[in-house]
Amino acid sequence: NAGVTQTPKFQVLKTGQSMTLQCAQDMNHNSMYWYRQDPGMGLRLIYYSASEGTTDKGEVPNGYNVSRLNKREFSLRLESAAPSQTSVYFCASRGSGTSSYNEQFFGPGTRLTVL
Amino acid sequence: RKEVEQDPGPFNVPEGATVAFNCTYSNSASQSFFWYRQDCRKEPKLLMSVYSSGNEDGRFTAQLNRASQYISLLIRDSKLSDSATYLCVVNDRTYKYIFGTGTRLKVLA
């Protein structure tokens, strides 16, 4: 049981290049999220997916697209990377129970630098 | 005003000390509250959920004050391994989890 996995762990891009960050979870969770974390700021939501086949914008969606490929996988794509997208990206999933205390589980993160 | 506010610290405390952090939230509709721990360059991990009646897990005690809209985390008998950043997280039972910027704790030998 690996939990939430992300690839790659590190990436350096040049301005204008594109790339896809991969995320997968093996906990049978319905909800998945993509966040970015910048120094001095809390985690900010980029996109989320409440269930397979649905995606919605979060707080900072500009410059990103997502795909919920199936229940396990949720990818984040940067079509034309910009230096402002230099950040640490975390994928998370949330339990599907009826409890209001469904915690989020996070992947190990992708450290992206855009030159 | 930020939706979730925390003192960034750092809180520098000696081993064995008791330390407390507060976190204030602005949305009165918030229903679920959490403390996460984040080590340097690692992902956040759940430390504990915060229930209305307060809850304790070993050396850690969490309290919720709905009237004043804050939650607290108390760490007793601090260990070197407690050094980390502690994130306050608030949820209103929708998809939306709001994260504080974190409070940094350094436990000194």
Q: What is the pLDDT of residues A28-46, one digit of tens each?
A: 999 999 999 998 888 999 9
> Residues B79-105: what's their mean pLDDT?
93
pLDDT at A98: 62
Q: What is the rounded distance in angstroms from the CA atom of residue A37 to the CA atom of residue B44?
A: 11
Low-confidence winner among A94-103, B73-82, B84-93 (lowest mean pLDDT): A94-103
Q: What is the rounded distance in angstroms from the CA atom of residue A37 to the CA atom of residue B23?
A: 19
Closest to A40 (Cβ–Cβ): which among B87, B99, B101? B101
> Confidence class of residue B92 from pLDDT cuts 50, 70 and 90?
confident
pLDDT digits (tens, 9 = 90+) for A65-113: 999 989 999 999 999 999 999 999 999 999 766 665 688 999 999 999 9
User: CB distance from A60 to chain B under 8 Å?
Assistant: no
pLDDT at B107: 97
B82 has a pLDDT exceeding 80: yes
Do the chains contact at A56 and B45, CB–CB below 8 Å?
A: no
Looking at beta carbons, which residues of chain B come within 8 Å of A42?
A: 4, 87, 98-102
B60 has a pLDDT exceeding 90: yes
> Confidence class of residue B98 from pLDDT cuts 50, 70 and 90?
very high
pLDDT at B38: 96
User: CB distance from A98 to chain B under 8 Å?
Assistant: no
Give residues 11 to 50 of A whose Cβ lies within 8 Å of B.
31, 33, 35, 40-45, 48, 50
Do the chains contact at A101 and B101, CB–CB below 8 Å?
A: no
Do the chains contact at A106 and B4, CB–CB below 8 Å?
A: no
Do the chains contact at A40 and B98, CB–CB below 8 Å?
A: no
Closest to B43 (Cβ–Cβ): which among A33, A102, A108? A108
Looking at beta carbons, which residues of chain A come within 8 Å of B34?
A: 101, 103
User: CB distance from B1 to chain A under 8 Å?
Assistant: no
Q: What is the rounded distance in angstroms from the CA atom of residue B105 to the CA atom of residue B94?
A: 30
Q: Which residues contact A83 (CB under 8 A, 6 or more apart)?
A: A15, A114, A115
Q: Which residues contact A49 (CB under 8 A, 6 or more apart)?
A: A31, A32, A33, A55, A56, A66, A68, A74
Q: What is the rounded distance in angstroms from the CA atom of residue A47 to the CA atom of residue A31?
A: 11
> Residues B3-10: what's their mean pLDDT?
93
